[in-house]
Structure 1
């Protein structure tokens, strides 16, 4: 019930068109494979870029962690150095304070010694001046007594006690008033 001739014509037509369809199908398959290769290549590039970026980020994180650790170490070192410098400064201040106290005590001792020397010098000077004044006053007193004795009339046969001691060897006649 099938027309054989028509069937053969159809088969011939199919045979003639079949290589072109096969070629188109093969071309589509090749094109599909090329697209897959390109997509796979693009995916590989994206994966490699992502891996490089991830490695870079990890390196940066490592660098950041290392930098933070180094910063902590530097901070500790600086703090220790500051504390050491502070202790040295305090020790130096205490040493300077002790030295200043000793210098003050030495200056006080010298000032007291100088004051004592000045006092002794002043006492010696005052003693010398008073001794000189005493000698002068003694001499003036002796001269005053002698002058008074010469002015007093003598009682015959009686000499005053002071006249024996201070009487001159030669006397002039008593003066008359």
Structure 2
């Protein structure tokens, strides 16, 4: 079987990660194929080589046998990566939901605090207004009570003055009557003493 010499110039690619057992086997088999080709005799005046077909295909069969295991491992790695990505996506989604719920909770708490502050301010304003209204009402009641008390005191003063005037007038009348009786008694005892025409008593004034 003939093969182009340019194959010997190519270099196998190596993974950045540590190769698995199957990859190492495949790599060694490919190196064996490369060595097998490079050590084969050249066809004169051509870029081709003579190779042992049976040995070449035997080596390639070994490569293919190990490729199946390598593919299975690659599929397993891809599935594991997919599982990790799905798990990371699920965790990210869960974290986003928790963050959203926490933000909503904080927002609700902030709204509750603001509402409580507004209600407290309204209650304070209402209380101040009620206190001011009670103060004005109390002041008005005090003024009314003071006016009523002053009016009653003035009426009592007038009634007291009228009563005192009436008592004094009665006392004056009684004194005049007593004076008259005294004079009459003296006239009876001393007929010649002070003959004076008795004066009529003044009429009693009625209390106004």
- Tell me the TM-score normalized by structure 2: 0.63
1:28 and 2:77 are equivalent in the alignment: yes
Matched, 1:84 2:133: yes
Match in the other structure for 1:75: 124
RMSD, aligned CA: 2.0
- Uncovered stretches (5+) of structure 1, i.e. residues with no partner: 147-177
More helix by share: 1
Within the candidate set 148, 152, 163, 1:99 is matched to 148
Residue 175 of structure 1 corresponds to which residue in structure 2?
none
Distance 1:41 1:129 in 2: 127
Larger RCO: 1 or 2 (CA < 8 Å, sep 6+)? 2
- State the alpha-carbon separation in 1 of the partners of residues 67 and 170 from structure 2: 148
Map of 2:109 onto structure 1: 60
Task: From the superposition, tell whether residues 10 and 101 of structure 1 become closer, same or farther in structure 2 (CA, over 3 Å).
Answer: farther
Deviation beyond 6 Å, 4+ runs, structure 1: none
Superposed CA offset, 1:47-88 (max 9, x none): 111111111211221222222222222221211111111111
Q: 2: CA distance between counterparts of 1:116 and 1:78?
A: 56
Corresponding residue of 1:14? 63
Deviation for aligned residue 1:126: 1.3
Equivalent position SS for 2:190:
helix
Name the CA distance, whole Å, in 2 between partners of 1:6 and 1:122: 169
Find out whether 1:48 has 2:103 as its counterpart.
Answer: no
Shift of 1:6: 5.7
State how far apart, in whole Å, the 1-side matches of 2:190 and 2:88 are: 146
Shift of residue 91, structure 1, vs aligned partner: 0.9
Q: Provide closer, same or farther for how the CA distance between residues 130 and 19 of structure 1 changes in structure 2, counting only shifts above 3 A.
A: same
Paired residues, number = 144
Q: Secondary structure at the match of 1:82?
A: helix
1:124-135 residue pairs with structure 2 within 5 A? 124-135=173-184
**1:165 match:** none
* Alignment partners' CA distance in 1, 2:131 and 2:55: 108
Give the 3-state SS of the residue equivalent to 1:39 in structure 2: helix
Q: 1:138 aligns with which of 176, 182, 187?
A: 187
Q: Which runs of 5+ in 2 are unaligned?
A: 1-38, 41-50, 194-208
Structure-2 residue corresponding to 1:164? none
